[in-house]
Amino acid sequence: MTSNSLERQPARMPKRPKQALLAKIFHWVNIVSVSIMLTSGLQIYNANPVFGGRAGPHVFPLFTLGGWLAGGRDWHFAAMTLFALNLLWYGVYIGLTRRWKNRFVGGNDVKALQVGQNQKRNAYAWHRIVYTAIVPILLLAVFTGIGMYKPAQFYWIVDAFGGWDALRIVHFMTVPTVIGFAIAHSLLALKVGGTRLLESMFW
Amino acid sequence: MHRRQFLHLTGLSSAGLLLSGCGTNFLSDLAGNATEPFNQKVEELLLKPQTLVPEFPISQIEPEKLLVNTFRSTPQIDPAQYRLIIDGEVAQPMQLSLEDIYKLPFRSMVIRHVCVEGWAAIVQWGGVPLRELIQLAQPKNSAKYVYFQSVDRYYESWDMASCLHPQTLMAYQKNGEPLPIDNGAPLRLAAPIKLGYKQSKWVTRITLTSQLLKYKGYWEDQGYEWFAGL
């Protein structure tokens, strides 16, 4: 019985969605580089917390990378190029292949939500809204990061945010935003396509 | 109470990590060493050696934000006995008293001082541009780096282009007043183009060299980035 049902399963299972190899590569490199940026960033944060300064609450060491400030900076500056270039080539790729038009949120998703009849279609619309919205957040992390890395050469970035402290807060706020995104993105992907969709994006 | 205990704990643990830094942070060193040559190239390209970094109006100075970080203790210096030595790859090695230094061209600037820890403060610094001192000593063509020796045995090294930047000062004035001893009196480095740990306090010796030596700077020798440009 058991073996019988096991044998039959593949035939019954809908085909795993196919993902473009380049999209998978981007996804993987992004996960790894963002994780390094995030944990090493929290290590740097601990040298002088954005909120409260030296007396302010510190991030628990389990979530930090590098051991001390210089180690955190080593990791942060090692991964930043990987993180930014990955976003760059992916931007070129979705521009050239017009993936931007049909693989990200569009008017049809907004329309679906407005009509609001099909639950599955609504979940899919939210899924696309969420993973589209993270792109400008990642770009904001790079932009504010350049301003903090070279504030004398890119003084206009610091000025655009109204000063150093505001720039630092915006750069830091990309951390909780990305964590929140990772949770929402995973849950929505599961809801929309189940483990098959998740697996298709990773392997 | 809790916060204090926590700070005490984190202070202890980071001190422990500092001591064992080289061993436990092997991977961090590896990541740093693999990418720093490339990052340094980018930093050198980004530095505009003769372009002024925009300054701030005096009204924007943030006196309370400039924290004092000293690696040992504040030294005692007798201003009358103080001498600044300039030597190394120069045709004219010299010793200057504070009176000599005060007679040299003065420059004042209101700039953002950025600490590696993440905080920043807008500060006014006044003093003699370092390039005036370097020119006085007549640098040889072989001079490529500059070492700074401090009374408290803090040491630093800079690339020549950053030293010749018009806003790199040997400062003796802060926020319109004589430089306080805690901030490096009688003479300290001040520049908008380098992180705070590059800006040595209590400098007594400036040595031009043709190459970087084994010892690059107090913090650099423990793992901090050397160029540290802003």
**Token pair 């949770």 is at which residue?**
A183
Helices (H), strands (E): how many in chain B? Answer: 6, 10
B158 in A contact zone (CB under 8 Å): no
B36 in A contact zone (CB under 8 Å): yes
Q: pLDDT at residue A8 above 90?
A: no
**Mean local confidence (pLDDT), B162-189:** 96
DSSP three-state, residue B173? strand
CA A140 vs CA A75, A146, A184, B133: distances in Å:
20, 10, 19, 42
Q: pLDDT at residue B10 above 80?
A: no
Question: Band of the pLDDT at B228, cuts 50, 70, 90?
Answer: very high
Residues 182-211 of chain B with CB under 8 A from chain A are 192-193
CA B63 vs CA A47, A202, B124: distances in Å:
21, 52, 9
Taking CA atoms, what residue in A is nearest to B28?
A71
Q: Using an 8 Å Cβ cutoff, are B114 and B181 in contact? A: no
| B3, B18, B193 ranked by CB distance to A55: nearest | B3
Q: pLDDT at residue A1 above 90?
A: no
**Percent helix / strand / coil, chain A, rounded to 5:** 80, 0, 20
* Domains with residue ranges and CATH for chain B: 25-222 (3.90.420.10)
B166 in A contact zone (CB under 8 Å): no
Provide the pLDDT for residue A73.
Answer: 94
Q: Which amino acid type is present at position A58? A: H
In angstroms, the separation between the Cα of residue B212 and the nearest Cα of chain A is 20
Provide, as residue numbers in chain A, all residues whose Cβ is less than 8 Å from the Cβ of B43. Answer: 150
pLDDT digits (tens, 9 = 90+) for A151-184: 999 999 999 999 999 999 999 999 999 999 999 9
Provide the pLDDT for residue A145.
Answer: 97
Q: Delimit the domains of chain A by residue range.
A: 19-97, 104-203
Asked if B120's CB is within 8 angstroms of A164's CB, the reply is yes
Q: Which amino acid type is present at position B42? A: V
Both tokens assigned to B120: 């920043």
Q: pLDDT at residue A140 above 80?
A: yes
**Mean local confidence (pLDDT), B216-222:** 93
The Cα–Cα gap between A28 and A40 comes to: 18
Contacts by A89-92 with C-beta closer than 8 Å and gap 24+?
A89/A26, A90/A22, A90/A26, A90/A30
Q: pLDDT at residue B70 above 90?
A: no
Taking CA atoms, what residue in B is nearest to A172?
B118
Asked if A164's CB is within 8 angstroms of B114's CB, the reply is yes
Provide, as residue numbers in chain B, all residues whose Cβ is less than 8 Å from the Cβ of A66. Answer: 25, 28
pLDDT averaged over chain A? 89
